[in-house]
Amino acid sequence: MDSASYEILHDPPKAHELPDRIELFCEFANSQKHDPRFIHPVVKGILLHFWLAYIHPFADGNGRTARALFYWYMLANDYWLFEYLPISYHLKKSRAQYEKAFLYAEQDGDDATYFIVYHLKAIERALRSLQDYLAKIAPI
């Protein structure tokens, strides 16, 4: 839903499709690190965020759950620094771009590249925020 106009921008899959979609999602999330189809863990975490938000299985809290899954995946794959990155803050701060990234992906044959690029930029901003904070509390 567009946060300004309250216009519905995405119709999630039908409820009867959710069990199969959730099963595929879980298989993807839990696939082994040494799967022959290598996907960088950061990209895979972003795809998990995108996928859950896209299928929208809950009446409320899909975005929060998707962000939590992203963080879970990063920490589960030893990207410990992500625990300290304010990525959610930067995603929420650019809400319109977040929504557009989903729309562009859907309008371009479900190509999640738009969302991946958007999310990577949010990670970059979060890294800069952390660096700025550390420079303030422990100047060199």
CATH number at residue 72: 1.10.3290.10
Whether residue 122 is contained in a domain is answered as: yes
Whether residue 24 is contained in a domain is answered as: no
Q: Which residue has the tokens 């901003």?
A: 125
Whether residue 94 is contained in a domain is answered as: yes
The alpha carbon of residue 5 and the mean position of all alpha carbons in its chain are separated, in whole angstroms, by: 23
Whether residue 104 is contained in a domain is answered as: yes
pLDDT, tens digit (0-9, with 9 covering 90-100), for 39-97: 999 999 999 999 999 898 988 999 899 999 999 999 999 999 999 999 989 988 888 89
State the sign of the Cα–Cα–Cα–Cα dihedral 64, 69, 74, 80. positive
Whether residue 31 is contained in a domain is answered as: no
Whether residue 72 is contained in a domain is answered as: yes
| Domain total in the chain | 1
Whether residue 6 is contained in a domain is answered as: no
Q: What are phi and psi of 112, to 5 degrees?
A: -75, 0
pLDDT above 60 for 2: no
How is residue 139 written in tokens?
């100047």
pTM of the predicted structure, to 2 decimals: 0.85
Task: Give the residue numbers spanning the domain of 95.
Answer: 39-137
Whether residue 14 is contained in a domain is answered as: no
Cα 87 to Cα 127: distance, rounded to the nearest angstrom: 8
